[in-house]
Every structure is written in C-alpha cells, then in structure tokens.
Structure 1
Amino acid sequence: MKKNLKTSSFFILTILLFICSCGSEDDSSTSTKIIVKNLVTNFDENPSINEVIGTIQATSNYTLSFRITSQTPSGALKINPSTGELSVADPTVFDFETNPIISASISIIDQIDTASSTATININNLDDIASFLSTSETNYLAAADGEWVIIEEAEYNALANNLNDITKVATSDDDYNAYESSNLNAPTSFTAANNNGLNMPSSSYVFAFKTNNHAVSSTNKVKQSSTSVSDGFIDLGSVLPANIVGTNCFVLKGSNNPTTDVGYLGIYANKSISFKNVAERHVATGPEDVNTLPNSANQIVLYQGLSTTQKQW
C-alpha cells in the first residue's frame, strides 16, 4: 500500500514540474518579442555625408542591436548599431535623376529574438545647380529663366565634377590653361566656334560657360548650333553679364534648349578674348554678331561650356 502511494506521488510531482516548466517557457517567449515599424520618408537630394535621415523604430524588453543586411544602391546608408539611426554614407548616390528611391533591409536583434524592418527613402527632386553653388546661390535663385549669372571658378568646377553626364565643350582644360597671353585682336567684334571635335552630344543642354578675356566687355553672347560648326547658330540665353579681365564663369538659369543633333558651341565676342595658336585651322569665325561663320584660322579661342544630356534643374 505504501509502495503504491509513493509511486502515485512521484507521477503527480512529475506532471506538476512539467506544467510549471511549460508555463515558464511561454512567458519568456512573450516577454522578449521585438516590435518594429518600417521607415518610409522623403529626403532631399545632394545631402552632406553623415546627414541624419531617420530612425528605425523598434522596442523590446532587452537591449537591441541594428544592422543593415542589404541596400540599394550599395553603400548609400549607414546605421547606428545601438540606436537604429540611419544616415548618409555616400552623398553622391542621393540623386533624384539616378536613384529616385533608396531602400534598405535592416536586421534587429536582442539577446533572444530577431526581427526585420525596411527603410524606403523617396528622394526629393531639387535644382542640382543651386545645390552646388555657394557664394552665387542667392543670385542664381533670383534670376529669371534664360539669364546668365556670374559664378566663381570653384563653383564652375563643382558643377563639372558633381552633375551627371557632363561634357566639356569647345576647349579642353589643357588648352584653356595653356593660353597665349594675347587677345584675338580682331578689328571688329566677331563670332567664333572652335572646330576641334569637342562638341555636345545630341539632346544635350549647355548650362555653364567660361571664357578668358583681355578687356572688360558687356556684350558677349553664347551661341549654339545643331547644324554645323560654321552655320545655324542661335543665341543661347541672355547677353553675358559684364566681364572682367581674366577668367569669367557663368551659369544659365533654366536652360531649356537642347541640341537636336551633335551640337557646336560658339561665342560672340567684343574684340578681346584669349586664344591659343595651333597647327590646324581649329576655329571658324565671322565678323560681328552673325550665325554663319565663313572664315577659319589656326587657333583655338579660349572659351568652354558644360553640357549634359540629363536635365537636372
């Protein structure tokens, strides 16, 4: 009788221990569940490195750790592993024309559980030219469409280096920087277009321009042709602002006249502009403000334009 009682007691104790054990495991699983929210936000293009975008929202009873498992484009984002704060890792990919949406998958873990979240960043389309101007930004934003605005040479270089699909037109950097210290010395004003193969692709926009002058001028113009280097020129934008002696740089507000074929860039100059002598007849010219250039010379006139096939303003 005592033996049967001991056996029954043993079975009852075993069952009670099993029930308690199961109850303890269920409570632990519920208490450590990670609750997360996906991040969807709008963000301006052309940001600074390390600029904060947003934070992955997640809660748990334990300390959380965050990690990016994949992202498009690669290397765009970085995350604070302790707080879930997302920031800019590569500013160059935050470009609306190239990457209108930047996305990432994020893994969130605590000491027991793992969860996942996504980040979707819709890039705001801004005027990229304004984004890369510093001292001239206010004047540029205040200008009317079709108006040329004076900018610094450093700003011209920033546009050349940071905008997409850039072609340097009419004069190479090497030729521009190795000019002869004299002007073209024409008896009257003239129109010129370099015939050296540095042309604009079809369907491209000229949006910046620089030239080297030997005297102050307030009548120079930028010209463009989709016909040939010697014919079919039209004025591009307004008359250039007053020039100083030396390099002058400009940007065109609201450039809206793409080439319809291979494009040629010309300049109407009031007598004084630097040049480089070369062995071949690399410039077409015409007297005064004309759209057909019947003459040629063994020179390269020192002006340069920036063009792009991707309108970014």
Structure 2
Amino acid sequence: MPIKARTKFVLLLIATMTFCVSCSKDENDDDEVNSADVAASADEYVRSGTLLTTAESQLDGDITFKFISVSVNDALILRETSGKLEVANPFAFDYETNTMITGEIEASNGTESEVLSLQIDVNDIDDIGYFLKTPESKAAYEAASLGEWIQIQEDEYKTLRSTITEVSLVGSNDNQYDESIQYAQNNDSYVYDNATVVNEGNGIPQNNFVFAFKYYSERNNVAQSKVKVSAAELTEGHEDIGSNLPIHNTGEHFFVLKGNDISSENGYLSMYTEKGLVTGIRGNGIHFFISGDAKDIGRNFNASGEICIYQGLSTPIKQWD
C-alpha cells in the first residue's frame, strides 16, 4: 500500500475508534440513573429478609461493613462480614413516604477503610391492591375496571384505613357511626328508601380522593346504591363517584373504589340508596335529605340530632393505579 494511502487509512481508523468510544460512553451515561456504590431497587412493602444487593469493597483482606448513616431508620439490615443488604421493615418501603432510601456504608479491613454511597430506589405499586388479602377481594379488585366499586371485608377496610398515607374519615366520625349502629341494631330507626342524603359533619378535606366506603343497610337485594361527592357545597352539586355499589343485603358492608382520580375541593360525602339506609338518633349530628336520586339535596328537609350510618376514607395522595 502506498505511504499516503496507508496514512489516510490509519487516521480514518483512529477517528472511527474515537467516535465509537464516545458513543458508548454517552449511552452508558444515559442508562446510569443510580450511580451509588451500593445500589438496588425494590417494590413497596417488599418482604422482610429479602436480599437487595451486596456491598463490595476494593480493599484487600477480610472486609467488614457497617452503616455510617441511613435515611430511613430500621429499613435495612447490613450483614457485617458478607456485605449483604436485606430488608428489615417492609413498611419503610412506602413510596408515598420514601421514594428512595439513601446512606453511607463504611468498609474496613482493620487498617484501611473506604466509604460507599448507598441508594435503594422504591418502586411505586397499587397500595390498595397490595393490602387486599382475601382471595375474593383481591381477584375482584384486579378484575375491576377503573371507577368500579368492589365489596371487601371489614378487616381489609381497617387495614386500608391504618396503612394508606394521610387518611381522613369523611361522612361521619367513629363515635357517630358506631353509636348509631348500636342504636339501630337495638331500636327502631328510620330507614330511607329512594333518597339522597348527606351528613353535615366530617367534610372531605381540600383536594382529597375518596377511595373506600362503608354503611349499614336494613334491606336485602339492594342493587341501586351510589356514593356521591360534592365539589364544595354541603347540599348542592353532588355527583356520582364510581359505579353503583355491588348488590348486597342487610347488615354492614365495606367497599373500595378502583382508580379514583377525582378529588373534592372541601366537599362532602353523600349517597343515594334505592332502599335500606338507616339513621341513628345518637349521632349528635344532622343530615339533609331529598326524595330520589338527586344532585341538589337542598336544605328544606333535615333531621337534627341524627346522622345516616355511612363513612368514607379519603387521602390527598393517590396511592393506586
């Protein structure tokens, strides 16, 4: 090959190699989201004892590992001699509270030490679906369409109330609800058929999403009950939220709403019932009512000292798909 031609070929080859290395580096930089020395990701509420990753050190000899700092107390276990990093507390992995867990780890061989940065990314999941533990409830929730109410168990309602972040009770407080049920079960109470009602107390906080509901019915084969929410006013502008409640019979019933994305601006929780909604005279509250499935209830008819036996759960943070 002539010298000039060979020189051109070598220069072209060097330029091509330089270009390819540069491309590879840029691509790696784009993909490298978590650059911590000890890095991993985990779903919310990952099981205790789950191995997340293993810390590694460049030091020679037998290495021991210990935490210098961790952003979330009791979230992680670090095995001193192996460097294995495991889940300690599943509830520390709550995306709505901690999108990541960070910290520093010291690695030491007895004479030398190095500091390793730590970052565990928490993956967001559907909290409601996770906390429904009975097979029937979980299957119904997974099969449901967005905006559909499904019936759940009492203990599942209580679990959602205690584990979903920043829950507010709406429609009635516990004393009103519990005392009213006790009275209704032992005395004659008024029962609404074909009516829309709203309790005055326990409004929905600013920009909250209603996601669960319970109430007490005195009728069987109830097929046309609806949960409603007003935008701001107590007795005006009540719109259906979600589908009709599933068909149910007499007694206390618990429901959860899939995928609610409609928030209320300091509004109120209400309901329409085809039949069977009970009032309690020991509620120390007041409710307004009107015949039929109505958007505007008005203030012409009210019952002082009584509430209707229903309650909802709301939160300002969407913790579901």
Work out the CA distance in 1 between the residues paired with 2:103 and 2:50.
17
Q: Alignment partner for residue 191 of structure 2, among 171, 177, 185?
A: 185
Match of 2:257 in 1: 252
Match of 2:107 in 1: 108
User: Alpha-carbon deviation of 1:78?
Assistant: 2.2
Greater C-alpha Rg: 1
Question: In the alignment, is the contact (CA less than 8 A) between 2:52 and 2:86 conserved in 1?
Answer: yes
Structural mapping, 1:272-287, within 5 Å: 272-278=276-282, 282-287=286-291
What's the CA shift string for 1:232-288, capped at 9, x where partnerless? 1000000000123221111111101111x2110001112312321148661011112
More off after superposition, 223-232 vs 59-68 = 59-68
Match of 1:18 in 2: none
Match of 1:159 in 2: 160
User: Alpha-carbon deviation of 1:67?
Assistant: 0.7
What's the CA shift string for 1:26-73, capped at 9, x where partnerless? xxxxxxxxxxx9222221012233333222123655332211110113
Unaligned runs of 5+ in 1: 1-36
Task: Give aligned-pair identity as a percent.
Answer: 30
Question: In the alignment, is the contact (CA less than 8 A) between 2:59 and 2:108 conserved in 1?
Answer: no
Question: In the alignment, is the contact (CA less than 8 A) between 1:225 and 1:265 conserved in 2?
Answer: yes
Matching residue's letter, 2:258: K
Question: In the alignment, is the contact (CA less than 8 A) between 1:183 and 1:273 conserved in 2?
Answer: no
Matching residue's letter, 1:177: D
- Aligned CA-pair RMSD: 1.9
User: Alpha-carbon deviation of 1:208?
Assistant: 0.6
Match of 1:30 in 2: none
Scaled by the length of structure 1, what TM-score is found?
Answer: 0.82
Give the match's secondary structure for 1:159: helix
**1:231 corresponds to 2:236:** yes
Give the match's secondary structure for 1:272: strand
Aligned residue pairs total 274
Structural mapping, 1:12-91, within 5 Å: 38-58=37-57, 61-91=60-90
Unaligned runs of 5+ in 2: 1-35
Work out the CA distance in 2 between the residues paired with 1:305 and 1:231.
19
Matching residue's letter, 1:227: A
Work out the CA distance in 2 between the residues paired with 1:280 and 1:95.
37
Scaled by the length of structure 2, what TM-score is found?
Answer: 0.80
Structural mapping, 1:190-269, within 5 Å: 190-196=195-201, 198-216=202-220, 217-259=222-264, 261-269=265-273
Matching residue's letter, 2:54: T
Matching residue's letter, 1:233: H
Give the match's secondary structure for 2:160: helix
